[in-house]
Amino acid sequence: MSETDKLFAETRVRNEDFTFGKDTAAVFDDMLDRSVPFYAEIQRMLGELSADFAVDGTAIFDLGCSTANTFLAVGAMLRPELNVRFVGLDSSEDMLRRAEQKLVATRFPWSYTLAHQDMNDGLQIENASVALMVLTLQFVRPLNREAVVSSVYRGLNHNGCFLLVEKVLGEHSTFNRLFIDHYYEMKRRKGYSDLEISQKREALENVLIPYRLEENKRLLRHVGFQHVDVFFKWYNFCGIIAIK
């Protein structure tokens, strides 16, 4: 359903900040596949880990659900007799439209709600056994991140699980430079040109603000999560699991 991502292929006279509007939504699955290392494997792991924590009669929240790939990955791993409700939130109506189309086209068998929500304005979660936030906290304004993660913590049931995937900074500037160099090499291997890589980097500069892995872990512990561990790491990308 996704078109090939050529958003940054032509020279841009005025390279504006990256957005998740219609043009991005139309190519987003291709963009994810070619811009996120091990994207399919990360989704598979999210499915497995979510299935470990999903509890009958609860909700599974995907915060920044984009085109619903995580709904599909998690839904595929759950025991069919489980009674759970999926809730997908996103601040982009265009992404939510794509998500709805995909869930209908694939006959997603679980009950679900997709809703528009800008997490900078707050977040209401309740009765969740699993909450996922995949490559999205990095787009929430740093000032609001603690409130968002705190709401996730409050909305999870006891023993509930939070799965957080983020782009991260290296713990030292040397690691950071090397990790980013190797990340751009991956993007070249996936067919992006130097122009596409540099224009996208510029467009994301004010919009995607990564923390270090340790800062993300500290934030999770600070809001109350008892157990925090890393389930995925590739250069400047990581997946963290936290249990309430």
Between 58 and 69, CB nearer to ligand SAM: 69
Cα(53)–Cα(160) distance, rounded to whole angstroms? 7
CB of 131 to ligand SAM, least distance (A): 12
CB of 232 to ligand SAM, least distance (A): 13
Between 178 and 180, CB nearer to ligand SAM: 180
Q: Is 182 left (phi over 0), alpha (psi -120 to 50) or beta?
A: alpha
Non-local (6+) Cβ contacts of 201 within 8 A are: none
Cα(240)–Cα(244) distance, rounded to whole angstroms? 13
CB of 188 to ligand SAM, least distance (A): 20
Judged by the rule CB under 6 A, the positions of this chain that interact with ligand SAM are 20, 32, 64-66, 69-70, 90-92, 95, 117-120, 134-136, 139-140
Cα(160)–Cα(173) distance, rounded to whole angstroms? 35
Indicate the residue whose CB is closest to ligand SAM.
64
Between 195 and 207, CB nearer to ligand SAM: 207
CB of 13 to ligand SAM, least distance (A): 25
Q: Are 127 and 157 in contact (CB under 8 A)?
A: yes
